[in-house]
Amino acid sequence: MKTEVLNRGIVFEKKKSEWRGYELVGFWALRSTLVLVLFILGVIVFDIVSKGAGVINWEFLTQPPRVGMTEGGIFPAIVGTFYVTVITIAFAVPLGVGAAIYLNEYAVQGKFTRLVRMSVRNLAGVPSIVFGLFGMAVFVKIFGFGPSLIAAGFTLGLLTLPVTVTASEEALRTVPKAYREGSFALGATRWQVVRTVVLPRAIPGIMTGTILGLARAAGETAPILATGAAFFLPHLPDSVTSQFMALPYHLFIMSTQHHAISQVRPIAYGTALVLLALVCILNLAAVLLRKKYRDRVAKGL
């Protein structure tokens, strides 16, 4: 007889008779919902991989679009997405980690920290197109950046801020209290404790948050519609005030706005595959990294 230890700390005898009659039906009904989730993801991934894989070759990844975007590759869109996510991270990570350090290391827990945390959660729920409107009004117009890499990067940075704050806070919380108390007892100041004891141990967790934020920013389209993404550009962006092509926006126009939609369908599939692969790899990396450091924390190292 096999025994199974549940995470609630009870030891159940696992018997065949545990699920019977309508309960067995219910058991399978619940289980089938997860199979459905797997099926949905499988169908989407299969469709895009099977129809997109044939398009992808070295030329597709390294050449700009040609002949009215009906031939050639998606190189400028890959470069644009890379540039804009770098700006996003440069904006969101210092601010997000800073806010997390404030919440977890400096602040006295009370009304104000509750308000900050509530703002983080509500910021996470703001629709992406509203960020687009905000970015257009503030970064493009008021700050006068015009439609540009920097305007789009800042807009996406705001959007990913809740991800980085939440992940960084979780990472800081995994550092045992005793470490801090030990350092304080030796006469270290708060900043010394944060810099030399807390932050080094929280780095893997912060990295996870950064990668998740990157994945989020790389796939977003709505916030960059009016803040800098361009239909087609003959040159790569040469400064932060240039407009840029981006993978998600490229997929959007190739599937809905192009003058010869059915002709460019393979290119759209190829773009979708590259974008999906990029986002999935980033997400998977974050999941693995998180698992690794959670295991380490669980072992008390």
Partner 1 sequence: MVSITEKAMKAIFVFCGLAIILFLVGILYILLSNSMPGLIELGLGPFFAADRWNPGAYGEPTYSLLNMIYGTLMVTLGALIFAVPVGVAAAAYLAEIASPWEREFFKPIVEVLAGVPSVVLGFFGLVVLAPLIARAFNLNSGLNAFNGAILVGIMALPTIITLAEDAITAVPKEYRHASLALGGTRWQTIWKITTPAAFSGITAAAMLGMGRAIGETMTVLMVTGNMVARPESFLDSVRTLSAGIAIDIGDVVFNSTHFHALFVAGLLLFLITFAVNLLADILIQRKPEVSK
Looking only at residues 45 through 64 of this chain, which bind partner 1 when binding is defined by CB under 8 A? Answer: 47-48
Of 39-47, 56-64, 67-75, 233-241, which segment contacts partner 1 by CB under 8 A?
A: 39-47
Q: For the window 149-188, what string marks contact with partner 1 as x by the rule CB under 8 A?
A: ---------x--x---x-----------------------
- Pick the closer one to partner 1 by CB: 70 or 283: 283
Query: What residues from 59 to 88 belong to the interface with partner 1 (CB under 8 A)?
Result: none
Of 70-78, 117-125, 199-207, 293-301, which segment contacts partner 1 by CB under 8 A?
A: 117-125
**Beta-carbon contacts of residue 188 (< 8 Å; ≥ 6 apart):** 196, 197
Which one among 90, 123, 197, 297 touches partner 1, defined by CB under 8 A?
Answer: 123
Q: What is the Cβ-side half-sphere exposure of residue 279, based on CA atoms within 13 angstroms?
A: 17
As a whole number of angstroms, the distance between CA 278 and CA 56 comes to 14
Which one among 71, 106, 176, 196 touches partner 1, defined by CB under 8 A?
Answer: 106
Which one among 82, 105, 180, 233 touches partner 1, defined by CB under 8 A?
Answer: 105
As a whole number of angstroms, the distance between CA 256 and CA 284 comes to 30
As a whole number of angstroms, the distance between CA 152 and CA 229 comes to 8
As a whole number of angstroms, the distance between CA 144 and CA 150 comes to 11
- Pick the closer one to partner 1 by CB: 223 or 237: 223
Of 26-34, 55-63, 69-77, 179-187, which segment contacts partner 1 by CB under 8 A?
A: 26-34
> Which amino acid, residue 212?
L
Find the length of the chain: 301
Of 68-76, 174-182, 196-204, 252-260, which segment contacts partner 1 by CB under 8 A?
A: 252-260
- Pick the closer one to partner 1 by CB: 65 or 228: 228
Q: How many CB atoms lie within 10 A of CB 15?
A: 9
Contacts with partner 1: how many residues (CB under 8 A)? 93
Backbone φ and ψ for 147, nearest 5 degrees, come out as -65, 115
As a whole number of angstroms, the distance between CA 286 and CA 160 comes to 15
**Rounded least distance, CB 40 to partner 1, Å:** 6
Q: For the window 259-288, what string marks contact with partner 1 as x by the rule CB under 8 A?
A: ------x--x---x--xx--xx-xxx--x-
- Pick the closer one to partner 1 by CB: 102 or 184: 102
Cβ(214)–Cβ(280) under 8 Å?
Answer: no
**Rounded least distance, CB 70 to partner 1, Å:** 17
Q: Is 63 left (phi over 0), alpha (psi -120 to 50) or beta?
A: beta
38 binds partner 1 (CB under 8 A): yes
As a whole number of angstroms, the distance between CA 56 and CA 244 comes to 22
- Pick the closer one to partner 1 by CB: 100 or 149: 100
- Pick the closer one to partner 1 by CB: 144 or 238: 144
41 binds partner 1 (CB under 8 A): yes
Cβ(205)–Cβ(163) under 8 Å?
Answer: no
C-alpha dihedral, 266 to 274 to 51 to 64, nearest 10°: 20
Beta strands in 20-141 (DSSP E): 65-66, 71-72
Classified as helix, coil or strand, 4 is: strand
